[in-house]
Structure 1
Amino acid sequence: MSHLDISVVICVYTEDRWEDILAAVDSVRRQSRPAAETLLVVDHNPALLERLGEEVGANTTPGEEVRVLANAGPRGLSAGRNTGVAAARGEIVAFLDDDAVAERDWLRYFAEAYEDPRVMAVGGRTVPAWASGRRPHWFPEEFDWVVGCTYRGLPPGRVRVRNVLGGNASFRTSAFEVVGGFATGIGRDGDKRPLGCEETELCIRLTRALPDAVLLIDDRSVIHHKVPAARERFGYFRTRAYAEGLSKALVARSVGMGKGLESERRYTTRVLPAGVARGLRDAALGRPGGAGRAGAIVAGVAAAAGGYVLGTLRARRGGATFSVPGPAPRPGPAAGAGRPRAREEAP
């Protein structure tokens, strides 16, 4: 197995998720393949920064390192991840959502994939943990990406992909030295819009810069992602699909429609029609939710298409912008000196 050190980055932004944050950190502590360090990046929330610096540090065991950092860039997930990458000391950086818990072998399967030096990124499988205890009858598995989870249509096993999914992913830190960090202005940026696609844009940039790079998803690297009740509603489903269209327009502007929509073409021409047919068949057989799932797929496609058209028009008019940071600076040799401990660091 690879002996590369793995740094785990968890971006956090609200004290409302305090218990979720602690559960995420605890799941990293329990890994069969230990992380070299855990980095908690706080997104412009001084109270949370101080509380984590004090309370997480009090629970740190000897030999364990948990660092609490302030987001050094603009508000949002992309800048938070870039802050974590810049501070990471491991050769691999893994990202875990702050409302998710990783299964025990999560990092072990990531590490195995990096035995191949061509592998530059590895993602895993994200399973929804519904607040209601079960999937809503109308919610199609083909749209699980709406709640940040692995969706029907992705191939099983360890397979090569165009891009990994950001809430359950890992990269060689050398990748960021080549192409820079996550673009700001594409993904979640602290406002109410549930945007995304920043990891898609980064992965396409990476394979353009390094044509021999291999990007994988290994569905044995499993995390369980919490889905709050508000995200089980159709209103959020529609809003998130629309926002995805806006984000996809920015990705296409950055990398071109060929790569930017390559996977989406197969998804919309094969996976979704099969989902509609399955829903209608279930409805004909009297199974609950069949018609609702078929209708939700059609509505989701329409919302995403509308977002894409509007996003494309905005991009052409210069009303939608994003920026790509340069290569991330790496910590110097002295960065790892001293006894491992939890501490608060200023950017």
Structure 2
Amino acid sequence: MTTAPTTLSVVIITYARPDYVRTCLEHLRELERPASEVLVVDASPDVRTRELVTRDFPEALYLRNDLGPGTMPESRQIGLAHARGDIVAFIDDDAFVEPRWADELLAPYADPTVWGVGGRAVNGLPGEESAGLGQIGRLLPNGMLTGYFGADPGRDLDVDHLLGATMSFRRDTLTSIGGIRGNYPGTCLCEESDISLRVRAAGGRLVFAPRAVVHHVAAPYDVGQRFDRRYLYYARRNHVVLLARNFGFGAPLLRRYVRTTLRVQRQHIDVAVRRLRGDEGRSPMDRARALVVLTRAVVELVGLVVGFPAAVVARRRDRIAGVGTP
């Protein structure tokens, strides 16, 4: 055991949500243990966030990501490249820290085997503190990932992956694995899991610290809505990329993920077709719901298929960048 790291860099990634950035920075000012530095990485198409940070929060370093929307991992990498703390923490612009967040996030790092620590994201949902207590942050045998990062098990837990809205890593660890990889576009799903799986593959432990709390208010997207068709498409596309990058195309995890996805979507399609034919449910509302289910299933299947050529491209880029693939 060693003493916990003493310096903390906090990286906020944002796109076109200056009002949320303001609240996020105001909460960071109230930390009982102040961050050593705060970095705001902005991919917005306008100057509102830049003007806000430079005018009202001079203690924060403003950085640009000129790649635009759908490039959250690239924003994280820009923040990492400029960070100087022993620990680099990443929070979303709509994740507002509680006063003891930094203390609780840093405490597990007293154990040198711990290379990453994530906090609890409270979403204001009924029962979230007890939902999925035994399944927090898991990579399942079928290749699926669990969440449940709003749960409170009452103690620190080892996990397989962390939530991007509130996660941290040893800066030296991230540097040693080649930094943060991009090519998780759209709603940027799975990009934080990619970091987590690579850290674990390098030999480090990841810890979920439920007393390190942020209030995740789920701000609206600039493009589309949360859990819309676009979200479903990228959920499947990026998941295939994640598994292929970290385990290879021949990995049992990837094969089981594909089989599970095909089985579930086939069930949805079968039910939807029966309802559209009038075999099950004859009201116009039943048929309208069936059409919604059918289009959702088709979108998810398209995302699954597109994930494979996207994974080929991602692995090729990884080899060129020298970060390696299995």
TM-score, normalised relative to structure 2? 0.68
Query: How far 1:261 sits from its partner (Å)?
Result: 6.2
The secondary structure found in structure 2 opposite 1:224 is strand
C-alpha displacement at 1:315, in angstroms?
Answer: 4.1
Q: Deviations over 1:229-286 (max 9, x none)?
A: 679x998355424321111100111012659669989x99xxxxxxxxxxxxxxxxxx
CA distance in 2, matches of 1:230, 1:45: 14
Given that 1:244 and 1:304 are in contact with CA atoms closer than 8 Å, whether structure 2 keeps it comes out as no
- CA offset at residue 49 of structure 1? 5.6
In structure 2, the partner of 1:151 is 148
Aligned-partner residue type, residue 83 of structure 1: I
Q: Which residue of 1 aligns with 2:35?
A: 35
Tell me, in whole angstroms, the C-alpha distance in 1 between the residues paired with 2:26 and 2:53. 16
User: 2:265 aligns to what?
Assistant: none
Aligned to 2:275: none
CA shift, 1:123, in A, is: 0.5
Of 5, 8, 12 in structure 2, the residue corresponding to residue 6 of structure 1 is 8
SS at match of 1:39: strand
Q: CA distance change for structure 1 residues 304 and 125 in 2, over 3 Å: closer, same or farther?
A: farther
2:195 corresponds to 1:202: yes
Is the aligned partner of 1:311 residue 2:309? no
How many angstroms does 1:56 deviate by? Answer: 2.7
Give the 3-state SS of the residue equivalent to 1:236 in structure 2: coil
Report the CA distance between 1:43 and its aligned residue: 1.4
Deviation of the 1:228 alpha carbon:
4.3
Q: In structure 1, which of residues 174, 177, 181 is the aligned counterpart of residue 175 of structure 2?
A: 177
| Structure 1 moving runs of 4+ over 3 Å | 72-75, 152-155, 228-231, 257-265, 301-305, 311-316, 318-327
Task: Provide structure 1 residue ranges, at least 5 long, that are not aligned to the other structure.
Answer: 136-140, 269-294, 328-347
1:186-238 CA distance string (max 9 Å, x none): 1x4xxxx3231112112222222x22x1111111111111224679x998355
What secondary structure does 1:40 align onto? Answer: strand
> Is contact 1:252–1:259 with CA below 8 Å preserved after alignment?
no
Q: Could you say which residue in structure 2 is the equivalent of 1:22? A: 22
- 1:95-139 CA deviation, whole Å, 9 max, x = no partner? 11011211111111111011111111001111225xxxx67xxxx
CA RMSD of aligned residues (A): 4.0
CA contact (8 A) 2:123 2:216 kept: yes
Change over 3 Å in CA distance of 1:25–1:53 after alignment to 2:
closer
**Identical-pair percentage:** 27
Specify which structure has the bigger relative contact order, considering alpha-carbon pairs within 8 angstroms and separated by 6 or more residues: 1
In structure 2, runs of 5+ residues without a counterpart are 138-145, 262-289
Task: Mark the CA change 1:56 to 1:326 in structure 2 (over 3 Å): closer, same or farther.
Answer: farther
* Residue 47, structure 1, aligned to residue 47, structure 2: yes
User: Which of 235, 239, 242 is 1:248 aligned to?
Assistant: 239
Structure 2 contact 94–219 (Cα < 8 Å) conserved: no
Deviation sequence 1:282-321 (CA, Å, 0-9, x none) = xxxxxxxxxxxxx9xx99x9579635632344347x5777
Task: Return the alpha-carbon distance in structure 2 between the equivalents of residues 224 and 81 of structure 1.
Answer: 20
User: Within 5 Å, which residues of 2 pair with 1:281-320?
Assistant: 306=301, 309-315=304-310, 318=312
2:183 aligned counterpart, secondary structure = coil
Looking at structure 2, the residues matched to 120 and 126 of structure 1 have their Cα atoms a distance apart, in angstroms, of 20
Aligned to 1:163: 161
The answer (yes or no) to whether the contact 2:101–2:212 under 8 Å persists in 1 is: yes
> Structure 1 length normalisation: TM-score?
0.65
Cα distance change on mapping 1:260 and 1:173 into 2, 3 Å: farther
- Residues 98 and 263 of structure 1: CA distance in aligned 2, closer, same or farther (over 3 Å): farther
For residue 77 of structure 2, give the secondary structure of its aligned residue in structure 1: helix
Equivalent residues, number: 268
SS at match of 2:123: strand
Q: Tell me which residue corresponds to 1:69.
A: 63
- The 2-side partners of 1:78 and 1:108 are apart by 25
Q: Which segment is superposed worse, 98-107 or 302-311?
A: 302-311
Flag the 1:54–1:74 CA change in 2: closer, same or farther, 3 A.
closer
Structure 2 CA distance for aligned equivalents of residues 115 and 11 of structure 1: 27
Residue number among 95, 100, 108 corresponding to 1:105 in the alignment: 100
Residues 42, 48 of structure 1: 8 Å contact kept = no
CA separation in 2, counterparts of 1:207 and 1:12? Answer: 27
